[in-house]
């Protein structure tokens, strides 16, 4: 047995509640020993991880890969590389590609391309309805068979409660999890930012919080009725948090995530009409942001990337004309660490929201424990770096950190024991 030996890393593993400086030994892609040298075998390589953290690989519950169909925005190769550098070992790709991921052919294409690129693992999300048009059920069983880990509606509307109910009943039959976005199009249509004081002052059409909460109420009641395995993607409001809390207290099994951007930025960022901050779900008020952070701290919420790369022309337009979305994969972990550096979250709370909680949603075993696959990140928490556009692996330069300095650097990412970056 030939081992990879990682020495003196601060191992932070929320699953086993571990946080201590120790040694880890890896062989054949799995963690063989923590804290003690294994009896047999020899050390092939030692990495001196003095001052660095060893944490489980990050898992993204929702990012937009622009392949197939949007080659001007990027490719599976470029975006999975960016994700790996950001600290992700696994990302769920949303089905709003072109063509939509509603056939096994598209699912297989995504898996093949990701495997060939050899960076982050991609766990494709299939479309819930054909063409994401919200009318006809997609062949969910076939998509799951081809490798889709769950089905998503990618913020596209479902025609009505009837179709939504049938969708859920069908998925429940085969124990297929649904990733649902809560978005009432009749209230959000035409809006481009959070409805509030900033929108009023800037004369921009707003998306009220009820666009999310009304849709969420509908989803929660139908989830209860149908018993489907459900995860709510990309929530953005304080009210949604309390609705979810209440539902769970009532015994409902439901998980949720929020995009990193909604934890860091608010609608105030839109001042100046910077189209970079045109995102869906919109960046909401400070009150909403604080509630989202509190929910992450309490372990109720996972953090997703909502990564959406765009070419320059898509963003170089007046605010409401620009396409929504932020490039997020590059520098993701140091970006997220800002919340820890500012004292809003502990290291453990942040890492848990990016690893343990998403792993549970996907039924994955992700953690630094003996016997697990070695999916992990070596992170240097103190290193400062200025983000320049040419440092991005993603082809989407619509990234809020460009020109800014981050503290922290991903030094290495391992997937099944292999260092991918």
- The site for another protein (CB under 8 A) is made up of 195-197, 200-205, 264-266, 268-269, 271-274, 276-277, 286, 289, 313, 316-321, 338, 400
Cβ(406)–Cβ(381) below 8 Å: no
Q: How far is the CB of 265 from another protein (least distance, A)?
A: 6
Q: How far is the CB of 389 from another protein (least distance, A)?
A: 16
Tokens matching residue 215? 């849709």
For residue 296, what are the contacts with CB-CB under 8 A and spacing of at least 6? 258, 263, 303, 345, 349, 350, 353
Cβ(11)–Cβ(34) below 8 Å: yes
Cβ(399)–Cβ(378) below 8 Å: no
Q: Which is nearer to another protein, 27 or 338 (CB)?
A: 338
Q: How far is the CB of 380 from another protein (least distance, A)?
A: 22
Query: Phi and psi at residue 396, in whole multiples of 5°?
Result: -90, 110
Q: Which is nearer to another protein, 19 or 323 (CB)?
A: 323
Q: Which is nearer to another protein, 186 or 250 (CB)?
A: 186
Q: How far is the CB of 320 from another protein (least distance, A)?
A: 5
Q: CA–CA distance from 182 to each of 177, 211, 272 (Å)?
A: 16, 8, 28
Tokens matching residue 170? 């069908």
Query: Phi and psi at residue 386, in whole multiples of 5°?
Result: -95, 130
Residue entry with tokens 């997220």: 336
Q: How far is the CB of 233 from another protein (least distance, A)?
A: 23
| Nearest Cα residue to 336 out of 369, 374, 302 | 302
d(CA 20, CA 345): 19
Q: Which is nearer to another protein, 13 or 288 (CB)?
A: 288
Q: How far is the CB of 126 from another protein (least distance, A)?
A: 33
Tokens matching residue 114? 């990701």
The two beta strands, 302-304 and 254-259, are parallel
| Nearest Cα residue to 100 out of 75, 62, 63, 68 | 68
Q: Strand, helix or coil at 360?
A: helix
Helix 347-354, helix 286-297: angle, nearest 10: 90
The kind and range of the H/E element at 6 are strand 2-13
Q: Which is nearer to another protein, 138 or 295 (CB)?
A: 295
Q: How far is the CB of 312 from another protein (least distance, A)?
A: 9
Q: How far is the CB of 76 from another protein (least distance, A)?
A: 27
Phi-psi group of 203: left, alpha or beta (phi > 0 → left; psi -120 to 50 → alpha; rest → beta): left
Q: Locate the DSSP E strands across 80-164.
A: 88-93, 121-127, 150-152
Q: Which is nearer to another protein, 116 or 201 (CB)?
A: 201
Q: Which is nearer to another protein, 145 or 286 (CB)?
A: 286
Q: How far is the CB of 293 from another protein (least distance, A)?
A: 10
Residue entry with tokens 């960016």: 82
Q: How far is the CB of 104 from another protein (least distance, A)?
A: 35
Residue entry with tokens 């069983």: 141
Q: CA–CA distance from 355 to each of 82, 148, 161, 350 (Å)?
A: 18, 20, 33, 9
Q: How far is the CB of 157 from another protein (least distance, A)?
A: 19
Q: Which is nearer to another protein, 24 or 193 (CB)?
A: 193
Q: Which is nearer to another protein, 28 or 274 (CB)?
A: 274
Q: Which is nearer to another protein, 126 or 325 (CB)?
A: 325
Q: Which is nearer to another protein, 1 or 317 (CB)?
A: 317
Residue entry with tokens 């009318």: 135
């Amino acid at each position: 047995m030939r081992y990879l030996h990682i020495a003196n890393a601060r191992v932070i593993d929320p699953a086993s509640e571990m946080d201590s400086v120790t040694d880890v030994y890896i062989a054949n892609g799995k963690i063989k020993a923590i804290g003690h040298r294994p009896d047999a075998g020899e050390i092939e390589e030692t990495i001196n991880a003095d001052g660095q953290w060893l944490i489980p690989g990050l898992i993204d519950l929702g990012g937009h890969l622009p392949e197939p169909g949007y080659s001007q925005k990027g490719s599976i190769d470029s975006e999975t590389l960016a994700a790996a550098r950001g600290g992700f070992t696994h990302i769920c790709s949303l089905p709003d590609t072109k063509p939509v991921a509603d056939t096994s052919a598209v699912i297989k294409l995504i898996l093949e391309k990701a495997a060939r690129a050899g960076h982050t693992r991609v766990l494709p999300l299939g479309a819930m309805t054909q063409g994401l048009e919200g009318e006809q059920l997609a062949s969910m069983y076939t998509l799951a068979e081809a490798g889709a880990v769950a089905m998503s509606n990618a913020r596209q509307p479902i025609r009505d409660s009837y179709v939504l109910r049938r969708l859920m009943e069908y998925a429940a039959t085969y124990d297929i999890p649904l990733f649902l976005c809560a978005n009432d199009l009749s209230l959000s249509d035409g809006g481009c930012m959070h409805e509030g004081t900033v929108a009023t002052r800037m004369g921009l059409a707003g998306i009220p919080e009820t666009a999310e909460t009304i849709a969420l109420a509908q989803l929660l009641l139908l989830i209860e009725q149908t018993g489907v395995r459900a995860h709510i993607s990309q929530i953005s409001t304080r009210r949604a948090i309390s609705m979810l809390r209440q539902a769970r207290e009532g015994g409902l099994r439901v998980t949720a995530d929020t995009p990193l951007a909604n934890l860091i930025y608010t609608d105030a960022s839109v001042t100046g009409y910077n189209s970079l901050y045109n995102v869906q779900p919109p960046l909401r008020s400070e009150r909403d942001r604080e509630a989202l952070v509190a929910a992450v701290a309490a372990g109720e919420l996972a953090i997703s990337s909502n990564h959406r790369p765009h070419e320059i022309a898509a963003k170089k337009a007046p605010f409401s004309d620009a396409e929504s979305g932020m490039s997020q994969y590059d520098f993701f972990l140091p970006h997220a660490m800002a919340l820890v550096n500012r004292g809003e979250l502990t290291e453990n709370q942040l890492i848990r929201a990016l690893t343990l909680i998403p792993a549970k949603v996907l039924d994955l075993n992700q953690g630094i424990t003996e016997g697990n696959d070695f999916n992990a990140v070596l992170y240097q928490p103190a290193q400062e770096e200025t983000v320049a556009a040419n440092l991005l692996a993603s082809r989407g330069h619509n990234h809020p950190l460009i020109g800014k300095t981050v503290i922290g650097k991903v030094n290495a990412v391992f997937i099944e024991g292999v260092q991918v970056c």
